């Protein structure tokens, strides 16, 4: 794989929001060329994320997280990479250490490279989510539960349909 290859868009799919362990996580899948969606890997990535996330706070918590975030499961060339982000202190985006499962063992999500936040394809989703949070949650109209409901319903549009096997 050439590390400075020309950018090509990748298939992005929005999945249903996961609501477990008091967390509400919007979820996305990215498929690189010749990679296929695998529901078992997506489920294992969610399980691993929930193990690594701190105890979920409440939306009204001013000194900790809000129990709201998003996860990306990227079926990339080198591994299945899954960055997880969550909101705290009203306007701060935090993340857990990068998770990745090697193609030789897609059932084991280990800690990836610590200083990596994400690749350009993942950052497209992060940018969308930051704008969505700002434009929905950090406005002066409506009450917090209704704004949260609106935020959770907004997803980066899927780039193409995907068949879930």
- 79-134 pLDDT, tens digit per residue, is 999 999 999 999 999 999 889 999 999 999 988 777 778 889 999 999 999 999 99
Q: Residue 101's pLDDT is what?
A: 95
Query: Is 4 inside any structural domain?
Result: no
C-alpha span between 8 and 31 (Å, rounded): 12
Q: Residue 140's pLDDT is what?
A: 86
Residue 138's alpha-carbon distances to 16, 70, 123, 141, 144, in angstroms, are: 23, 17, 21, 9, 9
Q: Residue 32's pLDDT is what?
A: 94
- Kindly tell me if the per-residue pLDDT of 162 is higher than 60: no
User: What is the domain extent for residue 133?
Assistant: 11-153
The total of structural domains in the chain comes to: 1
Query: Is 43 inside any structural domain?
Result: yes
Query: Is 160 inside any structural domain?
Result: no
Q: What is the largest CA-CA distance in the chain?
A: 49
Query: Which residues are within 8 A (CB) of 132 and not within 5 positions of it... i.e. 6 or more apart?
Result: 151, 154
Q: Residue 161's pLDDT is what?
A: 53
Query: Is 29 inside any structural domain?
Result: yes
C-alpha span between 36 and 51 (Å, rounded): 25
Query: Is 45 inside any structural domain?
Result: yes
- 11-62 pLDDT, tens digit per residue, is 999 999 999 999 999 999 999 999 999 999 999 999 999 999 999 999 988 8
Q: Residue 1's pLDDT is what?
A: 55
Query: Is 6 inside any structural domain?
Result: no
- Kindly tell me if the per-residue pLDDT of 165 is higher than 50: no
Query: Is 142 inside any structural domain?
Result: yes
Query: Is 147 inside any structural domain?
Result: yes
Higher pLDDT, 28 or 164: 28
Beta bridge partners of 29: 13, 73
Residue 44, SS3? helix
Query: Which residues are within 8 A (CB) of 57 and not within 5 positions of it... i.e. 6 or more apart?
Result: 64, 65, 66, 67, 88
Give which of 96, 2, 82, 10 is closest to 42, Cα–Cα. 82
Q: Are strands 65-75 and 23-31 parallel, antiparallel or unpaired?
A: parallel
Q: For residue 12, which phi and psi values (nearest 5 degrees)? A: -120, 130
């Amino acid at each position: 794989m050439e590390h400075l290859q020309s950018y090509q868009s990748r298939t992005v799919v929005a999945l249903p929001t996961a609501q477990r362990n008091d967390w509400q996580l919007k979820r996305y899948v990215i498929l690189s060329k010749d990679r296929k969606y695998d529901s078992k890997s997506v489920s294992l990535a969610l399980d691993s994320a929930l193990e690594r996330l701190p105890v979920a706070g409440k939306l009204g918590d001013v000194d900790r997280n809000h129990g709201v975030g998003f996860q990306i499961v990227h079926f990339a060339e080198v591994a299945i990479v899954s960055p997880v982000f969550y909101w705290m202190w009203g306007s701060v985006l935090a993340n857990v250490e990068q998770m990745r499962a090697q193609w030789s063992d897609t059932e084991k999500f280990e800690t990836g490279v610590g200083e990596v936040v994400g690749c350009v394809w993942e950052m497209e989703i992060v940018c969308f989510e930051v704008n969505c949070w700002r434009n929905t949650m950090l406005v002066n109209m409506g009450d917090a539960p209704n704004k949260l409901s609106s935020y959770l319903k907004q997803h980066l549009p899927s780039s193409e349909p995907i068949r879930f096997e």
